[in-house]
Structures are given as structure tokens and as C-alpha cells.
Copies of this chain bind each other. A is one copy, B any other.
């Protein structure tokens, strides 16, 4: 029998851009095609997507794409891949509905093969069998993806938790998971995000108690900020508002879209007479209102952040408002979030962000839940993914404590194939893999050189030295121009820079002045030295040498 290869193209050793290939013979499928968000060093980058080189090199093998759930880190890069390959995309009805807008922005969706694979469904793709199994998570219709191979099931846990009182009442399909275990799971690719957290995570339903307490005690309006895709959270806000006699409105485009799609499809039940438009809120007394808003990550253009700066035209903050911060800061966003929270406190808002009664719970499995998934499915090999190295490391330690031998636990790395044979498995040679940076205009492929220049520009600014050159006669025409942007030094240094360059050029021979590259180099070098000497700064220096 041949090898089954499991190749993470993203999502292994990081949180974000989940994308994994499974290959058996000439059949390849992808599980998830997600994006991640730029870190603070990636200037001018909007999103980060996987490098699809390996997929394109094997495009003849690629038979289908499967999506576990509708979060951006599992589906967000799909438009960029479907732009290059046309294969069927299998996922639940709900997930299809949630991603449709984004696909339509970039592609002609009529040309796409969007196939429904609801929880419990199974489909054959060449020699592979793919089954979708419901698990609980912070978005509806989240599913494990089980890939039937000749060596047994390769099971993708997806993002999951075991919530016995989920808001939509739809429990994880533990029955099917145990049967998979009976049939033989050769490898479990498991969520490991919360491997740091001991015990069992609280149910999403716990949040209702926190909401209830705030809704009944708050003297004025209650604002709630959460992720725009957190439909369960919105449902609870609606239910508790209804129970406590408040009306609910929404501020923020993405949240409005989600609410619209989900209520139309029946994934969100809006209690009678509970929802009102934002411009109708002024007709009601403040203590009768709940407003759901985007901005939980401190995004500059979000409704909440604009409100905190008094720049949101559709609604104004009032002293006496209460804000429930019903989310968790994504690392890197902390400063922006706290700046927003502090501005709100200054405006007289009472912000509830760390209440004794929880106003947020995680959608990811804690340690005992991760162990439960192992216990249910009894995989031969374990491969923690959807976690940074620290999470993968702790998952490994946890599995060792459960008695797993070291050689059956694989710390997956993007681009390193896990090659599963009949009697053993090992990490194979790396395949082409990496990250592709997409700029604010949607252009994929911001280079490292561009990032380096941007970092340099950001920290020290730029000095532009302009020289006009009569190349034929080897003469400098006119004077030397110096412009600066983002430069924090003194103006005298800029004037001296022009003088230094002028002196340097005057000392060149005619033949040297006929060599544009040489002149350019002389100008840049002289200007740089002047900046260091006279301003103690190292701005980027651009010699703009014009041949006239």
C-alpha cells in the first residue's frame, strides 16, 4: 500500500490560515483554506494567505476542497485559491451562506461548484471517503472532517469544544466519533489553541447569566461588542434582552450582514418585537436598549472605535452607557482595545470586561476536552495543529501523560508532510510552503523587500536627493534638491545634505558624471553619511537622478 500524506500548508505552529492537503495516490483534497491577520511588522498588509505553490504544482490531483466552518481562519483565503483552480467546494449549507458574499466580491460564483455537505453527510472523492461530523464551537454548523484512507480515518477535529448546553441545542456527534474510533482513526489533527487551560471550558450558555445580570442592573443602554460571526452570542443577547424588556439593535456592517443571513436561514431566532433599527433607538428610554456592535478587536474603522472617538454618525455614546466586552483580545490587538476601552471610560461608560459572572467564554476545547476527543476517537497518531509551538508543546506533554509514546505524537509544521504508511509514520521532506501577504488593494505578494523598506520608512522617514544630469556632457544641471518625509531631524542637516552632495558631485570627473549609476551611488552615499553625521539619523535615502 502507498503512503497517505497529510501536509499542512498553514495552521501548524500558528493560529490562522488553516489549510491542509491530504493525498492518497492521485487523489488530493484540501481541508480548509483560511487566512491569518498581519502582525505589527507587516506594514500595509491587509491579510495573509497560504502560499498555494504546492497546490498548483499538483492541481491535476486536487479533487475537492472541504471547509469545517465559516471562520475566516478556515475559509478566508478561498477566493484567492478558487481564482486559480476550479474544484468543488464541500461544506454545510450554513457555511456556504456565510462565505457567499466574500466569494462574490472577487469571483463569478456561477462558475463555482459549491456542494452541500451537512453534518452527518458523507461523500466519495476518488479513492478517498470524506465524512462531516458535527461538533460544538462558537459558530453554527462546525464539523470535524474525517478522511477515509487505506490506513484508516485521518480525522480533522476542526475548532471545537464539547458544550453540552449549546445555544442552538445541537450537540457534538459523540456517537459517530466513538464509532470512528472503533473503525480505526490512524491520525487525529487536533485543535490545540487552549492546551494551556486546565479543566473543562464553560458552556456558551454561561454567558446568558452574565448578560442577565448586566441587563437588569445597568441604569442605561447596554452595548455589547463581540466578533461579528458569533451568532450564538447574538442569540443570547436577543433572548436575555427579550426576557428583561430591552430591545436590540445592531451597529456595524459585518454584524448586520451576519444577523440578516442567519435570521433568514433560521440560525438566529429573533423574539417578537425585540429587534429595532439603529435610528429608532432614540425613541426609547436608554434602559430599554441593547446595542450589539463590532469593534471587539479595536479595529479603527469599526462602529465601537468610531463611537469612542465621537466619529460614528449613526449613534453617540452617552454617559451612563454600559459596554460588555464579550470577546477575547487576539494577541497584538491589546493596545488598540485598551485605548478604546479607556476612551469609553473617560466618556462616562461603565465597561464590563472581567466580570465575576462570565460575559465571554472560549469556543475552543480546554485540556480535559482535548483528552476527551482523544479518548473518544482513540487515534494511533496525534498531530496537534491550530496552535502556536507553545500550544503544540503543551498538547504533546498532555498526550505523554495519557500514555502516548513520543514517536506517535507529531508536532506539525507548515510544509512538512506527515507520511503515513502501513506500519509507521514520519515527517517527510518539506514541500513549497509559506505565507503570501495581500495588501490593502487586494494585491497578493507584498515582498520582504517592500516590508523592509516600509519598516525603514516608518522608523526613520525618507530623504530624497534630486539631481539633474546632462549625461552626454558629463555635467550637473542646476542645483541639488533635497526633500524629506517622516524625517524628525533638523532642517539644517537637510541643507547641509544638499551642500555635501553638491561638493561631492563637483569633485567627480567628467567620465564619472557620464555614468548615471555611479552618480546615483555617490549621491546616496554622501547623503547617508551627512544624515548620520549631522542628524544622527538613518533615513532611507533615495537619489532621484534625472537624465536631461
Contacts and interface: CB of A to CB of B under 8 A. Distances in A.
Contact of A488 (B44, B353, B464, B468): B44
A542 B485 contact: yes
Given A331-B335, A343-B389, A479-B547, 5 more contacts: A13-B342, A443-B490, A443-B536, A453-B486, A468-B548
A350 to B, nearest CB: 8
Interface string A327-354: 0000110111011011101100011011
Task: Specify the main secondary structure of chain A where it touches its partner.
Answer: mixed
A405 to B, nearest CB: 19
Report which residue of A336, A342, A545 has the largest number of chain B beta carbons within 10 angstroms of its beta carbon: A342
Interface in A367-397: 388-390, 392-393
Contact of A457 (B343, B462, B483, B488): B462
A115 interface: no
B459 A346 contact: no
Interface of A: 13, 39-40, 43-44, 196, 331-332, 334-336, 338-339, 341-343, 345-346, 350-351, 353-354, 388-390, 392-393, 439-443, 445-447, 450, 453-462, 464, 466-468, 477-479, 481, 483, 485-490, 535-537, 540, 542, 544-548
Report which residue of A343, A441, A537 has the largest number of chain B beta carbons within 10 angstroms of its beta carbon: A441
A76 B490 CA distance: 24
A44 B488 CA distance: 9
Contacts of A488: 44, 439, 441, 443, 445-447, 450
A486 B389 contact: no
Nearest to A485: B453
A537 B468 contact: no
A389 B537 contact: no
A458 B486 CA distance: 10
A66 B12 CA distance: 53
Given A453-B485, A457-B454, A537-B439, A477 B477 contact: yes
Contacts of A487: 450
A445 B491 CA distance: 13
Contacts of A343: 389
B390 A351 contact: yes
A332 B331 contact: no
A331 B338 contact: yes
Contact of A458 (B389, B458, B545): B458
Given A478-B547, A487-B450, A536-B442, A462 B459 contact: no
Contacts of A468: 468, 477-478, 546, 548
